Amino acid sequence: MTMRVLYLVHDLEDAAVRRRTLMLEAGGAQVYLAGFRRSQKPADDSGKVIDLGETRNGAFAHRAAKTITSAPSLIRALKGERPDIIIARNLEMLFLARQAARRFTSAPVIVYESLDIHRLLLRRDFIGALLRGAERSLMSRASLVVTSSPAFVENYFAPMQNLTLPVFLLENKVLDLSSRSVGVTAAKNIDGVITIGWFGALRCCKSLDLLSKFTRLMDGRVKVVMRGKPAYNEFEDFDAQVAAEPDITFEGPYSAEDLSALYAQVDLTWAIDFFEEGQNSKWLLPNRLYEGSRYGSVPIAMNGTETGNFVSRHGIGLTLDEATPQALIALFETLTPDRLSTLRATLKACPPSLFTATRDDCVGFVDHLKTLQVAHA
């Protein structure tokens, strides 16, 4: 019998949600997707998605309030269909998962998917302690934690939450469900101008300030191309700042199908993020690290971060010691055409599994969820 998974998410429009849904389905699960959206337009008018309404970026209290009142709507939308597994994509969704699970005579297995550690959880005051206590209580009824970086466990879940649940590491690799074996593809030809691609969730105002100062000092020798979804609430005036920069462009959103073409236009991937600096950004392994590397774009990472550790361990890119224009200039002075070619060759020699998740990985994940279902029965 096909395992039924209810996937609860805080942003139905997040590209990573689509990737996880495809992964579950490719592994053989039947997926019910439910959650909130960040736009006024309903997420899906075909009836295949349970739309719980609109929430806003950066508004934790608003999202929490919406979540508290959403369980009855979710249960009605399920029309009596009991899921075997409920995967909750963040803390608010874990609360909703608990509320939903109580409505069934036989409670489904709950899995907590934590791919970011929210800054409120890391506060050293009453609010932080309250939220961490709530998370511990909610996790007490879960059977598994799924996370994308071992540093989240090492720096948060183990020392701050005394986690005793098993952990399944599911990195943010590029999902490729084709049967063909795909290695690293070639990036653009060296033409005298180094192009940095900064793609994905654009939320780091410090990165934009740093790249603005750096490209101006490089006087046309380095360009930055940005693609993705800007978190406008994190910037003073994103559009105006980008428009004022002669060597930085923003070219709008993209889809997973665009990745190969996007990275073919750039030499380097900006895999640096100072958003929630010293905490979440230090521990994560971002999508762009895997995407850029798979498509032949050499990553730039900060030393002392999990991304920097990944790059150094595999010898696949450049690492920066200080977040200053001068440090970037010194790094780029070492980036001769020969060195760039060598770095690309190193990427190309990496096993595809380092950056790519295949159908076998999907099956392995779903099979692991099935073991939880059996143990819970």
- What average pLDDT score do residues 267-282 get? 88
What are the backbone angles phi and psi of residue 69, rounded to the nearest 5°? -95, 5
Confidence of residue 247 (pLDDT cuts 50, 70, 90): very high
Q: How many residues does the chain have?
A: 377
**Which residue did the predictor score with more confidence, 179 or 74?**
74
Record the tokens describing residue 220, joined without a space.
């046309």
Please tell me what DSSP assigns to residue 189. P
Confidence of residue 105 (pLDDT cuts 50, 70, 90): confident
Confidence of residue 104 (pLDDT cuts 50, 70, 90): confident
Look at residue 225 and tell me whether its pLDDT is greater than 90: yes
Domain residue spans of the chain = 4-175+358-376, 194-354
- The closest of 46, 63, 47, 53 to 12, measured between CA atoms, is 53
Fold of 194-354: Rossmann fold (3.40.50)
| CATH code linked to domain 4-175+358-376 | 3.40.50.2000
* Total Cβ atoms within 10 A of residue 107: 15
Confidence of residue 256 (pLDDT cuts 50, 70, 90): confident
Please tell me what DSSP assigns to residue 180. S
**What is residue 70's predicted lDDT score, i.e. its pLDDT?**
81
User: Helices marked H in the chain — which ranges?
Assistant: 15-26, 60-68, 71-78, 91-101, 126-139, 150-152, 158-161, 205-218, 238-243, 259-263, 280-283, 287-294, 306-314, 325-333, 337-349, 359-376
Q: Do domains 4-175+358-376 and 194-354 have the same CATH topology?
A: yes
- What average pLDDT score do residues 91-114 get? 92
**What is residue 7's predicted lDDT score, i.e. its pLDDT?**
97
Reported pTM: 0.91
How far apart are alpha carbons 374 and 355 in whole angstroms?
A: 31
**What is residue 219's predicted lDDT score, i.e. its pLDDT?**
93
pLDDT in tens, 318-361: 999 999 999 999 999 999 999 999 999 999 999 999 999 999 99
Look at residue 270 and tell me whether its pLDDT is greater than 90: yes
- What average pLDDT score do residues 240-251 get? 97
How far apart are alpha carbons 57 and 90 in whole angstroms?
A: 14
How far apart are alpha carbons 31 and 83 in whole angstroms?
A: 9
Look at residue 290 and tell me whether its pLDDT is greater than 70: yes
**What is residue 190's predicted lDDT score, i.e. its pLDDT?**
56
**What is residue 40's predicted lDDT score, i.e. its pLDDT?**
60
Look at residue 140 and tell me whether its pLDDT is greater than 60: yes
For residue 326, give the 3-state DSSP assignment: helix
pLDDT in tens, 182-219: 555 555 555 679 999 999 989 999 999 999 999 999 99
